[in-house]
Amino acid sequence: MIARSIIKYTIAIAVAIFFLLPIYVIVITSLKPLDEVSLSQMWALPTAIDFSSYTEAFSELAPNFMNSLYLVIPATLLSAILGAMNGYVLSKWKFKGSEIIFTMILFGMFIPYQSILIPLIQFLNQINLYNSIAGLVFTHVVYGLPITTLMFRNFYANIPDSMIEAAQVDGASFLGIFRRVILPLSITGFVVVAIWQFTNIWNEFLFAVTITNSGSQPVMVALQNLSGSQIVQWNVQMAGALLAAMPTLLVYILLGKYFVRGLLAGSVKG
């Protein structure tokens, strides 16, 4: 019994260390003064704590960090609202063909975005949204529809149909039921969907790097540029990586339970 416990904890702790090592390296490297940043001392703790990597990384990334905020907030809200509308119809107002429509929408979740990228850029160019945050917001709202629709549809499927029927007997209309029955019950749904969309859009790279090319680049593109640059020290890269990851890490730490619910909701079903 004791032997089994020892094995159990040894494995769990060893794997935990493996998962945490990158964070250890990021944190200690980003806190080192420049003269202690050397390849052979990667694992050594800093002798003094120095925030200059953060000041440098921050001055490089701050404008792009703001771009990401301007992108992620409207894109998350809009795609959540549209998802709730679709989910409501596809779970509570099914009609002939609605299952096919739902499956067609779902497919959009799995396509490699490379397969729509060339027309998308031509289109954004036409409507003058290429290389703009607004263009990226639009893109993320459209391609976020499948996942938000799926999540809300599954969420609303758990609201008993009898509640809808009771409201209908009371004379409530389609909109009335949505406003007075469904939306008040949707808070958890909105939290889960918003966290999921926030994390995904913040972390997204392919659209970001192809649709924007200068002042409007989101933070992940700027981080990639920072790490690809030969003149930037890697303590600054590490500080930059931590800064860029901070919003989604904070969301995970504070609201991890909802994040995991979103993650599980992504696997179709329901």
Partner 1 sequence: MRITKDQLMALLFLTPSFILICIFVYGFIGWTGWVSLSNWNSLVPDMSFAGLKNYLYLFADYRFQADLRNTVFFTILFIGFVIIMGLSLAILLDQKVLGKSIFRNIFLFPMALSFVVTGVVWQWLLNPSTGFNEFLKIFGWEPKWYTDTNILFGFQWGSIEFGLPVAMIAVVIAAVWQMTGFSLAMYIAGLTGIPEELREAARIDGASELQIYRKVILPMLTPITVSVVIIMAHISLKIFDLIYAMTGSGANYVTDVPGVYMFETTFRGNYYANGAAIAIIMLLLVAVFIVPYLINSRRGASS
Q: Which of 64, 75, 78, 88 binds partner 1 (CB under 8 A)?
A: 88
Which one, 29 or 67, has the nearer CB to partner 1? 29
Task: Considering only residues 95 through 124, tell me which ones interact with partner 1, judged by CB under 8 A.
Answer: 95, 98-99, 101-108, 110-120, 123
Please state, in angstroms and rounded to a whole number, the distance separating the CA atoms of residues 160 and 151: 17
Please state, in angstroms and rounded to a whole number, the distance separating the CA atoms of residues 157 and 169: 20
Task: Considering only residues 4 through 23, tell me which ones interact with partner 1, judged by CB under 8 A.
Answer: 8-9, 11-12, 15-16, 18-22
* Binding of partner 1 by 136 (CB under 8 A): no
Instruction: For residue 127, count CB atoms less than 10 angstroms from its CB and return exposed for 0-12, middle for 13-18, buried for 19 or more.
Output: exposed
Instruction: For residue 244, count CB atoms less than 10 angstroms from its CB and return exposed for 0-12, middle for 13-18, buried for 19 or more.
Output: buried
What long-range pairs does 169-175 form, CB within 8 A, spacing at least 24? Answer: 174/93
* Binding of partner 1 by 236 (CB under 8 A): no
Give ∠ CA 90-75-135 in degrees, rounded to 5: 115
* Binding of partner 1 by 80 (CB under 8 A): no
* Smallest distance from partner 1 to CB 182, Å: 11
* Binding of partner 1 by 45 (CB under 8 A): no
* Binding of partner 1 by 150 (CB under 8 A): no
* Binding of partner 1 by 252 (CB under 8 A): yes
